Amino acid sequence: MKLKHKIYKLIDISGLQLFDPIARLLFKEEPKVQIKRITQFIIIPAVTFCLFLLMWQIMAPRHTTKSGEVPTPIRVVDAARGIWTFHKREKQKSEAFITTPEDSKKLIQSSKERFNEIETKLIPAQEELINKLKDEESIWKDKNINPKIVNFSKSESAIKEKEKLIEKELDELALSIGINEKDKKDLLLKKLKEFENNRSLWKADIAEGKGNVSILESKKYNPLEKAQRIKDRLEEEKQYLSVYIGILTKNRNSKVEDLNNKLTEYTTGYYDAESTKLMSTAKRLVRQQSRIQKTEESEYSAAKTLPYQTLRSLLCVFTGFILATIIAVPLGILCGLNKSFMCAFTPFIAIFKPVSPIVWLPIGLIVVGGFIPDPENNAFISIINSLPIFGSFEVNPAFLASAITVSLCSLWPTLVNTALGVSSIDSDHLNVARVLNLNFKERLKSVIIPSALPLIFAGLRISIGVGWMVLIAAELLASSEGIGKFVWDMFNNGSSDSFAQMFVVVFLVGGIGFMLDRIMIVLQRLVSFDESASSI
């Protein structure tokens, strides 16, 4: 009995009220009501979303652009899978670079097996299938497309012939008209007008027909397309495997081993050397030692994958968000406490709040660039990069400028809400502070901040939403390694998959934004004292 209520409360607090009816249904609490709620809050949205996907799937192929067809949901899922495979492979490569010799032997063995399988079995099989499908395609084209094209060209030539015929008729008519036959002349004019009108209509028909034909010609035989994609993917894997095996056979440990072998040779050489050769052998030995050390420290430089970029974007948005919070909350409290302060700040809030991130970013880049002229040898950057999380994401000026842009755009909601929260504190609570003779610090800590906290968090929630939205644009412009940069790269490289990958980003950005919002709602509920749910 108690467990039941704990589960309900947990659902409520974690912001997953969506699952509340399911939990209640499982405990057999008013099943009819729960089923109604499930239909309303789960089934209807799910059905609508499915309908949306279905419409997308149907509509997408009908619209072709310069950069190819609009991807269908299936292609988008495919692209997402492709992104993930790429990420996994890059990770495997960097792992391969540092595996021990025994492990790499095993890995080489298994990779070679797979490589051979692909080369000798899978690809030939797929090629055979493709050849078969090509035959099918020509049959399919003959049946479904070619007749239409032939039809069109037939009607086109028919129209052209008709045109010629009428023109000829009109010429003859003109020749037959005498100089004073006004009626006939008028008739000729009328006929000519009619003909011109018709001709423009026929022209439009032909143009439309040509458009249809080009769409028909670009139509692809789906099974063949699919088979080709599978083959492409196999080729990709084959290529990857050869690189992978290459890294495994010549990875860091094997390099170090080779160098060490040489080192022992050099060492003996040095001790056996005569005084005339002593210096040169010594140099050789010392150089070898430093080379070994460098090799031991070297790492595989993996390509930046979308998962990495996503994490870096998250880090960037949190950096900006925390910066904004650190500025906005104290400032907001001061504004809420003191009318003069509020009046002093109102013009700044009013003017800077509507400024677009597109303006802040270049300013941020210039300012950061001014402070950090040489990012490679900058103390501040190297301090940040020596921090635990930041270190693995290679913070650079572009990152800092993006973070600053995020904070400049996202601090306003928090600032305004904090000021509102502080200035609208219940006078009863302030009376308590007066009666207890609390000094400023105590009043701030025990009355003002707790009382304003729900509104502060409401502001923070808006802020992080704004920040996340702004960040993608900022990264795109600053080409700071993140989701925004990924989109920009995809836009510029224009491969057949890049359009679909941009759609993956749409859902990724949307999903993360949604999650950030949920987290903030949960936090907001935890600090708000009006609801009993906050006291679990």
Partner 1 sequence: MSFLKISNVDVSFGSDDSKVDILSNINLEVQQNEFIAIIGFSGSGKSTLISLLAGLQAPSCGYVNLENKQILKPDPSLGIMFQNYSLLPWLTVYENINLAVNKVFPNMSSKNKDSHIKKYIEMVNLTPASEKKPSELSGGMRQRASLARTLSMEPKILLLDEPLSALDALTRSSIQDEILRIWENEKRTVVMITNDVDEAVLMADRIIPLTIGPKATLGEEFKIPLSRPRNRTTLNSSNEYKKLKRNITKYMLRMNAKNSKIETSDSAIPSVFKIDSCDLEREPLIA
Among 83, 365, 453, 474, binds partner 1 (CB under 8 A): 453
Minimum Å gap between C-beta 438 and partner 1 is: 6
Minimum Å gap between C-beta 436 and partner 1 is: 5
Could you tell me which stretch among 72-80, 127-135, 316-324, 526-534 binds partner 1 (CB under 8 A)? 526-534
Minimum Å gap between C-beta 27 and partner 1 is: 24
The answer to whether residues 380 and 397 touch, using CB atoms and an 8 Å cutoff, is no
CB nearer to partner 1: pick between 372 and 425: 425
Residue type (1 letter), 157: S
- 3-state per-residue secondary structure call for 169-227: HHHHHHHHCCCCCHHHHHHHHHHHHHHHHHHHHHHHHHHHHHHHHHHHHHCCCHHHHHH
Residue type (1 letter), 485: K
Contact between 9 and partner 1 by CB under 8 A: the answer reads no
CA distance 84 to 51: 27
Contact between 180 and partner 1 by CB under 8 A: the answer reads no
Minimum Å gap between C-beta 342 and partner 1 is: 12
CB nearer to partner 1: pick between 223 and 450: 450
Contact between 436 and partner 1 by CB under 8 A: the answer reads yes
Helix (H) or strand (E) holding 78: helix 73-96
> Strand, helix or coil at 245?
helix
CB nearer to partner 1: pick between 297 and 530: 530
Contact between 331 and partner 1 by CB under 8 A: the answer reads no
Could you tell me which stretch among 197-205, 375-383, 439-447, 514-522 binds partner 1 (CB under 8 A)? 439-447
Contact between 455 and partner 1 by CB under 8 A: the answer reads no
Positive or negative torsion for Cα 346, 347, 348, 353 = positive
Q: 214, 210, 215, 226: which is closest to 63 by C-alpha?
A: 215
CB nearer to partner 1: pick between 139 and 533: 533
Q: 266, 267, 256, 263: which is closest to 297 by C-alpha?
A: 256
CA distance 182 to 166: 21
Contact between 531 and partner 1 by CB under 8 A: the answer reads yes
CB nearer to partner 1: pick between 302 and 444: 444
Residue type (1 letter), 228: Q
Q: 422, 423, 413, 403: which is closest to 357 by C-alpha?
A: 403
Contact between 535 and partner 1 by CB under 8 A: the answer reads yes
Minimum Å gap between C-beta 522 and partner 1 is: 17
Residues in region 372-431 near partner 1 by CB under 8 A: 425, 427-431
Helix (H) or strand (E) holding 282: helix 275-297
Contact between 61 and partner 1 by CB under 8 A: the answer reads no
Q: How is the chain split among helix, strand and coil, in percent rounded to 5? A: 85, 0, 15
Minimum Å gap between C-beta 407 and partner 1 is: 28
Minimum Å gap between C-beta 510 and partner 1 is: 34
Can you tell me which residue has the tokens 């509020």? 342
From residue 117 to residue 146, the character string flagging contacts with partner 1 as x (rule: CB under 8 A) and all else as - is: ------------------------------
Among 100, 386, 437, 492, binds partner 1 (CB under 8 A): 437
CA distances for 469 relative to 474, 476, 521, angstroms: 9, 12, 18
φ/ψ of 260, rounded to 5, equals: -65, -40
From residue 469 to residue 508, the character string flagging contacts with partner 1 as x (rule: CB under 8 A) and all else as - is: ----------------------------------------
CB nearer to partner 1: pick between 279 and 343: 343
CB nearer to partner 1: pick between 110 and 535: 535
Minimum Å gap between C-beta 329 and partner 1 is: 17
What tokens does 450 get?
């707790």
Minimum Å gap between C-beta 445 and partner 1 is: 10
Contact between 446 and partner 1 by CB under 8 A: the answer reads yes
Residues in contact with partner 1, counted by CB under 8 A, come to a total of 25
Minimum Å gap between C-beta 456 and partner 1 is: 13
Among 434, 479, 493, 511, binds partner 1 (CB under 8 A): 434
Residues in region 336-365 near partner 1 by CB under 8 A: 337
Question: For residues 175-205, b (16+ Cβ closer than 10 Å) or e, as one string?
Answer: eeeeeeeeeeeeebeeeeeeeeeeeeebeee
Helix (H) or strand (E) holding 52: helix 44-59
> Strand, helix or coil at 421?
helix
Q: What does the binding site for partner 1 look like in residue numbers (CB under 8 A)?
A: 337, 425, 427-432, 434-438, 442, 446-447, 450-451, 453, 527, 529-532, 535
